[in-house]
């Protein structure tokens, strides 16, 4: 196994799936796949409603994301491409250092400064065109 020089991504924090209807999606991810529903949260800053389903025996969780308006990036993504995988989130130790390293490597970080999430996490997104077609999110969780 080849190990990269920098150890930025420590673990998968979550995989986000954009859906039209949270309740319908829960009938698959909770009721069929059996992922426990931890909570549903409105995120006004992002204009979405999110269901958090942590994997019972592992690390990380599935987030089902339903846009609550039509004027956000994720709502346009849903309208244009339909439901599906939206992004994968990796946890990093130091998000400022990670942002600098990624920018130096030519990846496009979409925020100038990390944003602050409801769990106290800092987060940024990486443009998919610089990450082989995948929208990547980075989290720094509070210590």
Q: Give the footprint of Co ion on this chain (CB under 5 A).
A: 16, 89, 137
Alpha-carbon distance of 15 to 133, in angstroms, equals: 15
CB closer to Co ion, 3 vs 17: 17
Token couple for 83 = 């439901």
CB closer to Co ion, 3 vs 15: 15
Q: How far is the CB of 117 from Co ion (least distance, A)?
A: 8
Q: How far is the CB of 90 from Co ion (least distance, A)?
A: 10
Do 29 and 64 meet the contact criterion of CB atoms below 8 Å apart? yes
List, in order, residues 6 or more apart from 57 with CB less than 8 Å away. Answer: none
Q: How far is the CB of 111 from Co ion (least distance, A)?
A: 13
CB closer to Co ion, 137 vs 140: 137
Q: How many whole angstroms from its chain centre is CA 139?
A: 9
Q: How far is the CB of 123 from Co ion (least distance, A)?
A: 7
CB closer to Co ion, 51 vs 89: 89
- Closest listed residue to residue 42, CA positions, set 70, 67, 18: 67
């Amino acid at each position: 196994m080849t190990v990269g020089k920098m150890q930025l991504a420590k673990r998968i924090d979550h995989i986000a799936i954009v859906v039209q209807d949270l309740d319908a999606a829960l009938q698959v991810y909770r009721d069929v796949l059996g992922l426990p529903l931890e909570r549903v949260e409105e995120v006004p800053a992002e204009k979405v409603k999110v269901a958090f389903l942590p994997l019972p025996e592992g690390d990380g969780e599935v987030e089902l994301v339903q846009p609550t308006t039509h004027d956000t990036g994720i709502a346009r993504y849903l309208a244009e491409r339909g439901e599906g995988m939206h992004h994968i989130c990796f946890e990093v130790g130091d998000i400022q250092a990670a942002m600098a390293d990624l920018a130096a490597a030519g990846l496009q970080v979409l925020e100038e400064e990390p944003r602050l999430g409801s769990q106290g996490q800092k987060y940024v997104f990486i443009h998919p065109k610089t990450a082989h077609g995948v929208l990547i999110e980075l989290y720094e969780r509070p210590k």
